Structure 1
């Protein structure tokens, strides 16, 4: 192989958008902050849940007031009970739920969101309580200057690069997506010039771990910067060169060598799987099939007789 001819696809300077969080162990967290849209839907679900909780708590409070003597029930007691209902529903309940679920309310569970600390750790009671307290007094329902505080909270969330609301700023938290879309990563196929050599090469020493490293490199090579890209390419090519016999043709670029070994290994695995299925079908016709058509009214084709 000619190390002077890397034949590596051009690299791209990829900087995925994330929270920019770094843990105490200097590990960067690749997390996607939740924005206004997903958080608004989660809030709507949480409001429905709080409405049901409010109905149940109000029912209990009404029963308690009904059984008390009339001499004890006055406007002051009714006002105190209503205040307790508000505190339980809008402060105690959200604090309890987010603490017990590690930052996931019902709405956040439905939307795949989670509240975390600024350092990436799980939230505690004080974080959940601060978020709920700011939400009760300023944000939603915003008992302090409603409408005005709602507008301020909305502007704060839109202006924040991480989508943080006032409660997040006060508690030192942020909301992130738990589920991330998995991007499609292309893995090159067999180079035509190396197909003949690869078909006769001995790949028995190439284990699954090394093959997985090669596959991961080939799929992520365009995202790697220099000199790490070339260094990793040479290291993998050298490792494969010590395990594959005979060696590839002279002046074979390392990139094409990796592609050929991975593609040939994949082809042999597919052929081995197909051969195993053929033997199983001959020995046990119909094994592993339910015998029922997935489409009603369409007959199932019988298995071919063994030959």
Structure 2
């Protein structure tokens, strides 16, 4: 009877969440200072709404449209509206996005990565009365500084965090082998190129388009003269084309070597697993 296969172990990093299909999703929580800035923007807007409400109420009282006895009721109503009702409605309607979070590129989501709803927004707003308004944000700042995802107390109780929605732009795809060097690339020997010179050459190729023409030609000639001592054969092309060909050949061969290494490890792992399963059991 063959032994049962070992259980699959899924390694989940801090910035990953596991879906119901056991797929690890890479998520990026927004940073502490950006989150604080977004919260500050929301607080300033809320204070502006509260001041506007107070001005309108004062005008109504001055015009004798409202009785003075309702002034305390209006004050309580304005505070509840600004600190609880308005944040709850905004976050529920926008699926976790307020003006402050939009400004810093964040969005409130559940701990499992799903969109937050009314319950999460209400809990966050209710706890925010204490940690943001009554303590001038001190509790939110302290708790956020000691939690991995910069979560404030309301987030911990609601099971939410602020996810980054603005991802950095992907770098441009690496250029291929220049057309005049396609045949040369099949026989070129670039393995003797020192790593330090290879890094300098790759940096030049990635930034060459942004350089001044004179500086670009000068640096290309200097690097090509150094690289030519370690590359064989040296193709009869201009220095920059030569450098681009060297970088492309090294990159392609390194990627090929990594793929072969991964395949070899996978084959060894599969062979070892098959040997264990085929071992006769006593």
Q: TM-score, normalized by length of structure 2?
A: 0.56
**Equivalent position to 2:132, from 140, 157, 171:** 140
Instruction: Measure the CA separation in 2 of the matches of 1:227 and 1:152.
Output: 53
Distance 1:24 1:17, change over 3 A: closer
Q: Which residue number in structure 2 is paired with residue 109 of structure 1?
A: 102
1:47 pairs with 2:34? no
- 1:117 offset after TM fit, Å? 0.4
| Unpaired runs of at least 5, structure 1 | 1-14, 200-217, 235-307
Aligned positions, number = 190
| Unpaired runs of at least 5, structure 2 | 1-10, 187-250, 268-282
Q: Which residue number in structure 2 is paired with residue 208 of structure 1?
A: none
Instruction: Measure the CA separation in 1 of the matches of 2:260 and 2:12.
Output: 20
**What are the equivalent positions in structure 2 for 1:26-45 lying under 5 Å apart?**
26-45=22-41
SS in 1 for 2:132: coil
Distance 1:152 1:110, change over 3 A: closer
**What are the equivalent positions in structure 2 for 1:190-205 lying under 5 Å apart?**
190=177, 195-196=182-183
Instruction: Measure the CA separation in 2 of the matches of 1:226 and 1:67.
Output: 80
Q: Which residue number in structure 2 is paired with residue 230 of structure 1?
A: 263
- 1:170 offset after TM fit, Å? 0.9
CA contact (8 A) 1:18 1:30 kept: no
Runs of 4+ in structure 1 displaced over 4 angstroms?
15-18, 66-70, 225-228
CA RMSD in angstroms comes to 3.8
Output one character per residue of 1:40-70: Cα deviation in whole Å (capped at 9) or x when no partner: 1112211221122212322333344445578
- 1:191 offset after TM fit, Å? 9.1
Output one character per residue of 1:99-157: Cα deviation in whole Å (capped at 9) or x when no partner: 11110110100111000001111111111111011111x21112xxx36xx44432221
Distance 1:151 1:51, change over 3 A: closer
Instruction: Measure the CA separation in 2 of the matches of 1:181 and 1:37.
Output: 18
1:127 pairs with 2:126? no
